[in-house]
Structure 1
């Protein structure tokens, strides 16, 4: 039986260091403020067309007493006066409300193959689906997806099957929505399901960085109306998506099953068959498909910083490869220092996958200069994005597997394509765009 993935924390009083006086602030960095760590900024460059229609949506059902809401922007294909060939693209993981103009600009980049324009030019009506709280429960936002699917089906002229999917968590939201609709004998009228770098079996944010988000948060003055820096990490969406998660900077124990929200979600999804069965299922991954990872050595130091008073420090290591009580970093303010280690946690920072600037974001927030090699780590491993058939809780898989040599029946998707390199998570790449457009327009 495989050893359980765990995190350990030791705490001690730092000797020989005086507590800071009034002119020696304990603020981690002079410019540090309450900002949500690991949230990506909205796309500002470029332009987005005005939608033909705009739909205000309310979830078809509540989850945990919450009925989610959202908005859809509908862009009819040239020459269409009504919906004829609807494609729904659901927004992904982030904090706060969706930015649909930004989502358009992101996916319609020229260098990425003008994904949305090409779809419309081929006669497909594009529906961008956004959520008022991207960080809430997947099940709640899936209710919004169901409402969008129902409206698209009811307003469509003719009987062309829907194309439904999403980017990042949007792929999980629509996967759950379609699977649940089938289990309830609810006709979703969908012929194709698709996902773009979706963490089907889980995503990864370095555990030491999760701990730092919690640790330094409490030492920063609160700003009324502004979320705290660990709000995205502690959100329901993060708990349900991340394979390894910690609830605070002191937590010790299992990391793959530490959140009941994730174990409950996986159990519920399994009760619906894990995937919708009726549609054809395709997906793309931003990770390298031939098992080539990032140039990160497990256990090496990404940054090691302390302020000039030696009253605050932060050290982060690249995640070691399994082992027992392997150090991953430390942090301290004033007299207390915390050191963290992990057991049986794979070296996921450098495996093939869609990347996120995790170390870079934290270093920038703390005012630390780091080698650009350490800016990004894997966020969605390629083996997860292509829905390779393995246990999403135990992760009994080699995350650096050469996917290009595998039979397609090893995946829960009917067809998929990986990028030729490890590109930023959800980044439109021409080869990935071509793959999806060709499938949708056959």
Structure 2
């Protein structure tokens, strides 16, 4: 029987700053980088976003834990359309604060083939109306933002000037939000009139942010109070992160199990099961930025990424080791040891086939540290998670490097999926993924 994955902080003062004199604490904080949110994708400024034909302000159809989420949708009609006719809802994913729908358009519509239109432009040329769905608090509870998605579906149905069914889905967490929304509507016997559901690199089984980077974010905040704006760990402690991450730690001192550290994840999964797990009526499509052949990234387990030594300060942070007992993932010394962390029974997530996130690179840039190009990005949404492998969300890590090319149909909760030919950046529309998805819609 597999042992429960866990983390152990082996050396730490009760308060990280208490073991250091004030000037040394400030030097450690400075070495860990500037203020900001390490794990938030920067807005996409390059490219053009068209003016939407309509903008809808949306309010969730019901509260979650007393909170009613809000959002908005930008409606882009297809070529030749004067009203919604063949609507496709595309929901935004995980980040901090309100959605930037212009930035989302620029990101998803970025040309992946020279001299060819981008993904959204191709949809509109096919006669498909694009409804971009955004949220005012992307980091809040998935159930709360799913209520906004329900309102968006109902608005589309009310505005549509045809009997054409809907296509509904999203990128990253947007795929999870719309998955829950459609399943909840079915559970409530509300007709969502959706023919196809899709998800682009959605962490159906969970996402991964290296545990040592989560800890360093918390450690930075404990040493340096926030100025204006969010702190380094703001996204890590958010409800959505706790619901989506396969492994999570609550602070830099935490020792214990990492898959069950947050009750929010268990509660969300129970809630998802309660509404049916997946919507049953739509044909379910999944797109994965990771490869489907089991080939991962060149990230040797346990290899040091950061190995900074400026006497008497030393910082080491490592690629996630592969299983084992008390495998060191990071340490800080300032003459004497200040903090050290180790994992047990945690597999080599960083190098798994999957959609990548450049968390290591962003933190290296914030800290002014040199970093090899191959270490800048690691797996964020493993391919087996993006294709919704039919496994328990707490017990699937042994399948990280599974070859998915001849996967039996009953081994995934989706009806069809496509993996990229390489491990591409999380949430990126590539030629292979776009071509496959557009073929799926060709007969719609």
TM-score range, shorter chain: over 0.9
Partner of 1:156: 160
Q: Structure 2 CA distance, aligned partners of 1:217 and 1:333?
A: 18
Query: Is 1:218–2:222 an aligned residue pair?
Result: yes
Going from structure 1 to structure 2, the CA distance change for 1:55 and 1:373 (only over 3 Å counts) comes to: same
String of CA shifts for 1:337-377, please: whole Å, max 9, x gaps. Answer: 11111111110000000000111112122221111111000
Partner of 1:298: 301
Query: Is 1:314–2:318 an aligned residue pair?
Result: no
Cα deviation for residue 157 of structure 1 reads 1.0
Partner of 1:289: 292
What is the total number of aligned residue pairs between the two structures? Answer: 435
* Aligned equivalent of 2:143, options 139, 143, 147: 139
Cα deviation for residue 220 of structure 1 reads 2.2
* Aligned equivalent of 2:240, options 237, 241, 247: 237
Do 1:26 and 1:334's aligned partners in 2 also have CA atoms closer than 8 Å?
no
Cα deviation for residue 12 of structure 1 reads 5.4
String of CA shifts for 1:393-433, please: whole Å, max 9, x gaps. Answer: 12254200011121232111100000000000011101101
| Aligned alpha-carbon RMSD (Å) | 1.8
Query: Is 1:119–2:104 an aligned residue pair?
Result: no
Partner of 1:326: 327
Do 1:20 and 1:334's aligned partners in 2 also have CA atoms closer than 8 Å?
no
Do 2:420 and 2:433's aligned partners in 1 also have CA atoms closer than 8 Å?
yes
Cα deviation for residue 22 of structure 1 reads 5.2
Q: Secondary structure at the match of 1:368?
A: coil
Do 1:256 and 1:394's aligned partners in 2 also have CA atoms closer than 8 Å?
no
* Aligned equivalent of 2:199, options 195, 198, 214: 195
Q: Structure 2 CA distance, aligned partners of 1:25 and 1:261?
A: 34
Q: Structure 2 CA distance, aligned partners of 1:315 and 1:163?
A: 47
Q: Structure 2 CA distance, aligned partners of 1:139 and 1:21?
A: 43
Cα deviation for residue 435 of structure 1 reads 1.0
Partner of 2:253: 250
Q: Structure 2 CA distance, aligned partners of 1:146 and 1:69?
A: 11
TM-score by length of structure 2 reads: 0.94
Q: Secondary structure at the match of 1:154?
A: helix
Unaligned stretches of 5+ in structure 2?
A: 14-18
Partner of 1:391: 392
Cα deviation for residue 129 of structure 1 reads 0.3
Superposed structure 1 runs of 4+ greater than 4 Å apart: 18-25, 332-336
